[in-house]
Chains A and B, each alone.
Chain A
Amino acid sequence: MWSDIDDLMERLRTLRRTNTLQLEVMAQYFDFEGAMAAEQPELAWRAREGLLATGIELNLCAVRLAGPPLDDRAEQICALLQSLSQVSPALGATAADLLERPAPGALSAIGQDTAAVIAFVRDDLGVAGVDSRAQAMKAWADGVRHLRDLARVLGLAQADGWYLPADRPEGHLTWYDDVMNAIAQLHP
């Protein structure tokens, strides 16, 4: 329940940022899984770091403690670690430890370290929709639908043409159905 217009706008900003971060989680999954398949360990390690940073910010957004995003990646990560440590020193310390870890040489070990990051984000930070690429895609799509529903109720203008549908007969599916179809293809 929102009490006044300032609260509502703040809540909308947070929802919008959360949805951007959900898209980021999805993009990191594409990077990570593609890199593992193509044996690109450095790209996989960078995606692991991105999953961790994005997971921390999603946690902070959920408790409305995320600051404005910073353009500089290092400063952004430092700000996230600092905020998380203020909320929970133990979580902050674990996150810092995961972040500072040197990349292992073996691709399989990178996979294990990334699984540890995902478990931390899911179990310790309590972020939903991070367990798999399919989950990340669904979390993002649900977030977009929620935001667009809110915008429609509030009478806010919405851009058209933001979604590029897969090749299909015209007019049969919504953009949301299209995304769900793509997810279904991941787990036929």
Chain B
Amino acid sequence: MSHASHHLTAIDTLGTDIRAEIDAVAAGLPATVSCVATGSLIEGFGNPNSDVDLFVIHEEGVPQQSIAIGMRAARYVDCEYMSRASLDSLAARMADGSWASLVPQARPDFDRYYRLCIGVPIRTTAATSDTLGRFDLDVARGNYAWWALARAFEHVARCAAALALGDRPRAGVILREGALYQASSTLAEEGEGYPGLKWLGEKAARRYGRGSAAFQQIVDDCYRPEGSLEDRLDRLRLRVDAPAALRAALKDRSCALDPETTVGLGHDSHVLVRRRKIAEAGPIAAGVCRQLATGESWAQAVDALAVELSLTKDEAAVAAWFYTADLRAEGFLTDDHRKAA
């Protein structure tokens, strides 16, 4: 049985109480609204307390609510509302599949795309059936594998930066999460693409068999890692084999100080001011902004950061981009027009 057909039959294995919950929600919907059952129960990872996940898809316009919830003794019902147009847009973004298009996307997009791929239609309109037909499970797995790899690479860079700054607790937290992303990427490449780091053990168990050598190898470094932070970072670096195209996509991003932004750097605080907004920058962002304020380009600022913290240029570029995200969002940093020119 293929993985896709497994999901279609999974609904038949659900308990009658769960099926009754699903049917009750679907029965209360207008005729123009579609309903899809999905989530860990459909994927086959469910347990006695797994929630019942339902997607309610509106044919036209924007739903007036985003979620609804229902409490039961053993589980809860989690209903998400969405428009068909938003799913068309999601399908188009995922179909692109390039690093440049995948890297900026957010985790919920991959989560929703995958869940729609495995979703079991309870009732659908013709138009929504057409839309759902554009959701491809192989695309979901492949895109998530790439995106999770990019996230793992980003965590390696952030961990290296934290270690260089002497912030070992931060480095430990980041490293643990990075290991989960790397393992999730590997599993997605091997067909276990259900997003969500919390399901790593179940995915590895289904793929390799719980307790097997391959299972232990992929799970242990995430949940019971051995060695110093430096040793663990080196191990993760070796496993995060970022392709040249990904490295290029990550390094190709750049921005500049907005002309109205002024940078004030003190001993303990680094403050940026723009119009009536003030932002305090952390050490990585401050280091980059300090260079940008002297008229250097983003690439030069990243190179200076790499030298200062003894990072590779790729890792410095990724860490710099991550830790300046808020400054870009608030307009302190803007598109690098000099580069575009």
The interface of chain A, by Cβ under 8 A from chain B, is: 23, 26-27, 30-31, 33-35, 37-38, 40-43, 45-47, 71, 73-74, 77-78, 81, 96, 99-100, 102-105, 137, 141, 159, 161-167, 178-179, 182-183, 185-186
Smallest beta-carbon distance B262→chain A, Å = 24
Question: Are B70's CB and A78's CB within 8 A?
Answer: no
Q: Which residues of A contact B79 (CB under 8 A)?
A: 164
**Which single member of A34, A77, A78 contacts B47 (CB below 8 Å)?**
A34
Q: Which residues of B contact A179 (CB under 8 A)?
A: 71
Q: A38-B48, A166-B70 are in contact. Are A100 and B20 (CB under 8 A)?
A: no
- Pick from B73, B155, B174 the residue with the most CB of A within 10 Å: B73
Question: Are B169's CB and A163's CB within 8 A?
Answer: no
Q: A42-B223, A46-B197 are in contact. Are A30 and B70 (CB under 8 A)?
A: no
Question: Are B73's CB and A161's CB within 8 A?
Answer: no
List the B residue with the shortest CB-CB distance to A110. Answer: B223
Size of the B side of the interface (Cβ < 8 Å), in residues, is: 45
Question: Are A45's CB and B172's CB within 8 A?
Answer: no
Report the number of A-B residue pairs with Cβ-Cβ less than 8 Å: 104
Question: Are A42's CB and B48's CB within 8 A?
Answer: no
Question: Are A163's CB and B48's CB within 8 A?
Answer: no
**Which single member of A81, A99, A100, A163 contacts B70 (CB below 8 Å)?**
A163
Q: A38-B47, A74-B155, A77-B173 are in contact. Are A167 and B224 (CB under 8 A)?
A: no
Question: Are B223's CB and A45's CB within 8 A?
Answer: yes
Closest 10 CB pairs of A and B: A42-B201, A34-B49, A164-B70, A38-B47, A34-B47, A185-B73, A102-B224, A103-B223, A46-B198, A74-B177
Q: A159–B25 Cα gap in the complex (Å)?
A: 18
B340 contacts chain A at the CB level, 8 A cutoff: no
CB-defined A-B contacts under 8 Å, sample of 14: A30-B51, A34-B49, A37-B47, A40-B201, A42-B202, A42-B219, A42-B222, A74-B158, A103-B224, A105-B224, A162-B65, A162-B68, A163-B68, A164-B68
**Which single member of B51, B65, B73, B158 contacts A159 (CB below 8 Å)?**
B65
Q: Which residues of B contact A165 (CB under 8 A)?
A: 70
Smallest beta-carbon distance B203→chain A, Å = 9
Mark interface residues in B13-32 (1 if CB within 8 Å of A CB, else 0). Answer: 00000001000110000000
Known interface pairs A42-B201, A166-B72; 19 further A-B residue pairs with C-beta atoms within 8 A, sorted by A's residue number: A23-B69, A30-B75, A31-B49, A33-B49, A34-B47, A40-B201, A42-B219, A46-B198, A47-B198, A71-B106, A100-B172, A102-B223, A102-B225, A104-B224, A137-B71, A141-B71, A162-B65, A164-B77, A167-B20
List the B residue with the shortest CB-CB distance to A104. Answer: B224
Q: A104–B223 Cα gap in the complex (Å)?
A: 8
B170 contacts chain A at the CB level, 8 A cutoff: yes
Q: A143–B42 Cα gap in the complex (Å)?
A: 31
Q: Which residues of B contact A164 (CB under 8 A)?
A: 25, 68-70, 77, 79
Q: A115–B75 Cα gap in the complex (Å)?
A: 21
Q: Which residues of B contact A78 (CB under 8 A)?
A: 169-170, 173-174
B86 contacts chain A at the CB level, 8 A cutoff: no
Q: Which residues of B contact A40 (CB under 8 A)?
A: 45, 47, 201-202
Q: Which residues of A contact B48 (CB under 8 A)?
A: 34, 37-38
Smallest beta-carbon distance A39→chain B, Å = 9
B306 contacts chain A at the CB level, 8 A cutoff: no
